[in-house]
Structure 1
């Protein structure tokens, strides 16, 4: 939390932002943004917060609930598969982060700490003068980004659970839309559903959607 403390000492409000689902072949990309509360800086919670990929699912869920009670404000934004296909994953990644930060509300942050993304800077009408810092492996180095990564991951996992109920054959509740061997086999057997990203390999040249799924 060193960088956050530095900005706080200057009277600046810090927003962390990160995404989940960039590399999946199905489902949305999800971004979360959080503004940490300096008053809770001493909480033991932050010692447990880490890059969401390093945490077990049950721990992530517990931390996500706790984070919601220890931040000033937080938000989540999604970009759907069809939009990803239309604008590309880099722009979709950027857009999800922009929307999550915008949804925090005007005047809620002065500095943005972001995990590394290709398209930069972010376009922020809510805080056009905000300092922006993108940091390689930021979700493993800065608590505000790690907190955002946890919220994004937990929210996306819940979305994928709902998609699993709609399309159980693809195992979205287990693979979260990533291309596992079982997922690939099911794609080969019946083709993609409406939640697959058709611009992603190996889907770009695959067969059209099944009519039963399109309904």
Structure 2
């Protein structure tokens, strides 16, 4: 497992180069988006970058503006040797738990690659069971260019889906907060109750659902 250093100048291909030498082939970077929200799926992306055609400006998606992420998404998809995106649904999150569902999304992202990697560099400290060997990298989206690229694709893909869910389930503000805890989200839940896009296994949603049922039984 590798950890990011506070004074690290930014992501590079150093970890990819070392992994390619160790495993004898192309490696992908893998990251997820949406493990913490109350609503919507969790997404993951896998990217095999072309070292001879790197889009400038790749960084941890959290360090970029939405406009920069959207620009880089186009560049990454156009220049990478291979990329893939996968999702795990709200139903899978509720039935499996978020950690296992994240692993499912990562597997789907790797399986969507047009080139099979010999190993994966995965952001974080959990070695998910993936279709290839895994090296975990704590703070990987700030160390590895391919993980950073994956963080961008996972984030933009999920953001787009949350905008679609906002149109499907109006009133919750999904397009703005993307399913995360926000005052407008809490207020909407109190007014409207949960919708099919909500993770019913999440403690705040469970508590709200239980309270609504309690009030309903008291009013009968």
Question: Which of 129, 134, 137 matches 1:135?
Answer: 137
1:94–1:117 contact (8 Å) kept in structure 2? no
TM-score for the superposition, normalised by structure 1: 0.86
1:17–1:31 contact (8 Å) kept in structure 2? yes
Q: Counterparts in 2 of 1:173-192, with a 5 A limit?
A: 173-192=175-194
CA distance in 2, matches of 1:204, 1:187: 11
After TM superposition, give the deviation of residue 18 of structure 1 in Å. Answer: 0.5
Give 1:73's aligned residue.
82
Give 1:31's aligned residue.
44
1:93–1:117 contact (8 Å) kept in structure 2? no
1:35–1:108 contact (8 Å) kept in structure 2? no
TM-score for the superposition, normalised by structure 2: 0.84
After TM superposition, give the deviation of residue 70 of structure 1 in Å. Answer: 1.4
Q: Identify unmatched segments of 5+ residues in structure 2.
A: 1-12, 213-220
Question: Which of 118, 130, 136 matches 1:110?
Answer: 118
Give 2:103's aligned residue.
94
CA distance in 2, matches of 1:9, 1:202: 46
Q: Identify unmatched segments of 5+ residues in structure 1.
A: 210-215
1:116–1:136 contact (8 Å) kept in structure 2? yes
Question: Which of 126, 129, 137 matches 1:122?
Answer: 129
Alignment of 1:14 with 2:14, yes or no, is no
2:50–2:80 contact (8 Å) kept in structure 1? yes
1:87-136 CA deviation, whole Å, 9 max, x = no partner?
A: 0001011111111112225x621121000154x34231xx4xx4x11111
2:32–2:43 contact (8 Å) kept in structure 1? yes
CA radius of gyration, larger in: 2
Question: Which of 41, 52, 57 matches 2:61?
Answer: 52
